[in-house]
Amino acid sequence: KKPISARLGDVVKNGDLITTQANGKALLITKSGDQFYAASSSSLKFEPSPPNNSKLSLFYGKLRTIFSSTDKDRKLQVKSGTAVMGVRGTDFSVDHDDKAKATEVTVVRGAIDMANDKKPAAVVNSGETAKSDGKSTQVAKAAEEQFSKIKGISNIAKPAQDALPADMMSGLNGIETKAAESSTKDIKKYVPGFDPGKLGIPAGNLDSINNAAMDLLTKALPAVPGMDKLKGGAPNLQDA
């Protein structure tokens, strides 16, 4: 299948391979409100899967995923070269270095199960980082630098409102507004009283909402020396 350059508003289907260049990022939003931020120099694919049981492969690079937990029957599995992450509703990032055969996961809110071929799944909770080399998984408290990296992934420049025909831009804005509402509802489970308006965040500003919640959840986390020395251890886009 011949690669094409993606444009604002393009529809992504199951089986499509998405690759970002060294100077590019991508934000994928489903009609369910789930969000997938692909960092520069990343490659991923949404695999064909039955409804409510979605799969995503990250071949290399970094990805921030915000998967809605409002429907408990929905599941997401994210697979890298060295680990498989089971998700029911959470905000987390995955960083896979295919050359080093290493995967790092950091959870902002919620929890995931992280497994590999050799060991049973390890639970990674809010504020924790896990590393896997495919043979073992190590979980530790996340350091501030982990969350700074996640912010870098999810800062996406906003398009001009005339970048698309009015009807297409209206539809795109509607999807982003729904995603912002979904994120806000989920954030309130962890930060009661969370109100983007009181924080000066414009209505529907998705990136600012997610990063403000991260600040509130992690501002008290101390730096953890030696985190860089740790070793070893999708939605169904038919509705997009």
Residue 53 has pLDDT above 60, yes or no: yes
Asked whether 54 and 76 are in contact (CB, 8 A), the reply is yes
pLDDT band, residue 156 (cuts 50/70/90)? confident
pLDDT band, residue 118 (cuts 50/70/90)? low
**Which residues lie across from 53 on neighbouring strands?**
75
- Mean confidence (pLDDT) of the chain: 82
Helix axes 206-218, 166-187, angle to 10 degrees: 20
Pairing type for strands 26-29 and 111-115 reads unpaired
1-10, 42-51, 173-182: least confident range: 1-10
Q: Which residues of 217-238 are buried (b: 16+ CB within 10 A; e: fewer)?
A: bbeeeeebeebeebeebbbbbe
Mean pLDDT of 167-175: 85
pLDDT band, residue 90 (cuts 50/70/90)? confident
Residue 105 has pLDDT above 90, yes or no: yes
42-51, 108-117, 175-184, 219-228: least confident range: 219-228
Closest by CA position to 132, among listed 156, 111, 146, 115: 115
Tell me which of 1 and 5 has the higher pLDDT. Answer: 5
Tell me which of 121 and 96 has the higher pLDDT. Answer: 96
| CA-to-CA separations, 29 to 97, 126, 172, 174, in angstroms, rounded | 24, 23, 9, 11
Residue 51 has pLDDT above 70, yes or no: yes
